[in-house]
Structure 1
Amino acid sequence: MKTGELVFETKNVDSSESHIQQLTESFNAYVQQKDKRSSADRIDYDIEVKVPSARFDAYVDAVTKHAYEVDRKQITTKDQTEQYIDIAARLKNKKELEERYRQLLDEAEAVEDMLAIEEKLSKVREEIESVERRLRHLQQRVNYSTLRINFYQNTGASLQFFESLGNAFAKGWTIFLRLVLLISHLWMLFVLAGLIYLGFKLFRKKR
């Protein structure tokens, strides 16, 4: 039995969600859980898919090809053979016990014996049903593998902020340079103004 986790960035989450849905149907898989979240600068999709185990690797590859950038891809395998054999053996033993009780019930003559055997037979049948449910559940887990997919789209709000901030600094620096150039072009006027000021002060002192 395999389980996998796939995290990737996409340029359009809705397009990716539609693509995954189409792949899921074409692989005879099914979506078990789906969730969509949005924040100021990101949109996330979480999808849990049950995929036929025989086609699990091909499904993962098909989904991965649609990713813009894969952040994480992890596949784990768990061998359920021992557990399956153990449950199947229990079921076999319970059914053999059920058959023995049936034979004893057919051979019983006293009502008291019949009631006692029927009670034990009823209990064994309940145990058989419980083991069969466990076996079916395990078989379902073995036949289908689980892939948890998280894909997201950066909406660019934070990028736009830093871009605007950078533009503001650039404009401020440009204005500063223009101011320096303006001052450098007007240096003669500053010198002339200084000379006039000094001349005016000297003139007042002489008077």
Structure 2
Amino acid sequence: MNRAHPIRFQPALVFTALLGGLVLSSCGAPVPMSESGSSVQQQTVGEAAPAAADAPVDNSVVAAATEVPRSLPQLIKTAELSIAVDSVEKSIDAATAIAAQQRGDVLGLQDNSPTDSRQNAYMQLRVPQEKLEATLNALAGLGTVQRQSIMAEDVSNQLVDFQARLRNLQKTEEMLLDIMERSGSVGDVLKVAQELSNVRNSIEQIDAQLKDLQNRVAYSTINLNLEGAIASNSPDRTVGTQLGETWQRSTQSLRELTVDLLQLGIWLMVYSPYLLVIAGIAYGYKRLKHRKQAIAPEQSIAD
């Protein structure tokens, strides 16, 4: 009695078969025409050739036929804008409102308010690329533009490369899924599953990079620097406020002087033994000198 032997699953043979099928399907040649059809076509072309030669040629039609369609460049735009304003606080609120009006966002804000220099603030805005020019014009109205620049990076080739790699990986994923549906040993299925997991990880990585580039192309970044006038004391301060500030400064100075004197006393206490020795040596030297001076006149009188 004959028994049916199970066909063992060979992933290498299946891969080869699938790849061969793709190559054959993409490289198939068109069906040749019959000889009678070919002769009729040649006769028709021969009769129409003189008429086509006599007809006038439309240059615009020829130019349109030969024109190759070109895709728009994919640019990542970054603008730098520095503005001198009267009030930094009001300009921050106005810039935030402008970004919201242009369907943008504020990515970062850093406000520096020193007491002895120019107040300045740094803002990073993100707006749609088609709104970049309108946003810059609106921001320029906040004050006097000191510096403005726009930089663009062409990422068209990177986008095309990521899209091509993503399509190829997706086709590979479909092939692996088709292979897993076929019968085979557990070991072969596990190998295909591992390869499928690697392909899907690559798809996720490339898809994330592609979306990041597309998002950076769709939204432009504006680095805004707001510079205000030199910070000074408010002119409408009352006399009581000024006296209070003077009292605070004087008491602060007194505290600092007291601390300095206490620190000096501690230093003197630590070095007091050395100071006493030096003072004793100086005192003994002075006494000895006076004694010698007192003995010298007595000897001269005795002589």
Q: TM-score, normalised by structure 1?
A: 0.73
Q: Which of 1 and 2 has higher RCO (CA within 8 Å, sep 6+)?
A: 1
Measure, in 1, the Cα distance between the counterparts of 2:183 and 2:127.
51
> Unaligned stretches of 5+ in structure 1?
158-207
Amino acid at match of 2:152: T
Partner of 1:98: 173
Alignment-derived partner of residue 136 in structure 2: 60
CA apart distance, 1:95: 0.5
Q: How does 1:149-160 map to 2 (within 5 A)?
A: 149-155=224-230, 157=232
Q: 1:48 aligns to what? A: 124
CA distance in 1, matches of 2:156, 2:141: 32
SS at match of 2:131: helix
Question: Larger C-alpha radius of gyration, 1 or 2?
Answer: 2
Q: CA deviation at 1:79?
A: 1.3
Task: For residues 140-165 of structure 1, give each alpha carbon's deviation from its aligned partner in whole angstroms, at most 9, with x where no partner exists.
Answer: 111111000001111265xxxxxxxx
> Helix, strand or coil for the counterpart of 2:154?
coil
Aligned with 1:118: secondary structure? helix
Structure with bigger strand share is: 1
Q: Distance in 1 between matches of 2:196 and 2:130?
A: 40
CA distance in 1, matches of 2:117, 2:193: 67
> What letter is aligned with 2:125?
V
User: 2:9 matched to which residue of 1?
Assistant: none
Please give the secondary structure, in 2, of the residue aligned with 1:109: coil
Distance 1:146 1:35 in 2: 16
1:71-82 mapped onto 2 (5 Å cutoff): 71-82=146-157
Counterpart selection for 2:160 from 79, 85, 89: 85
Q: Once the 2 structures are TM-superposed, how far is the Cα of residue 65 of structure 1 from its aligned partner? A: 1.6
Q: Contact 2:169–2:203 at 8 Å: present in 1 too?
A: yes
Q: How many residues align?
A: 156
The yes-or-no answer on 1:4 pairing with 2:79 is: yes
Amino acid at match of 2:167: K
Matched, 1:143 2:218: yes
- What's the offset of the Cα at 1:94? 0.6
d(CA) in 2 for partners of 1:107, 1:8? 67
Q: Which stretches of structure 1, 4 residues or more, deviate above 3 A after TM superposition?
A: none
SS of the residue aligned with 1:7? strand
Deviation at 1:122, TM superposition (A): 0.7
Per the alignment, do residues 156 and 119 of structure 1 end up closer, same or farther by CA in structure 2, a change over 3 Å counting?
closer
AA in 1 matched with 2:166: L
Give secondary structure in 1 for the equivalent of 2:181.
helix
Preserved contact between residue 107 and residue 124 of structure 2 (Cα < 8 Å): yes
Cα RMSD (Å): 1.1
**Partner-residue secondary structure (3-state), 1:78:** strand
Q: 2:100: which partner in 1?
A: 25
- SS in structure 2 of the partner of residue 20 of structure 1: helix
1:45 and 1:135 map into 2 onto residues whose CA distance is 33
How much identity, in percent, do the aligned residues show?
28
Compared CA separation, residues 156 and 113, structure 1 to 2 (3 A): closer
**Secondary structure of residue in 1 paired with 2:86:** coil
Name the structure 2 match of 1:195: none
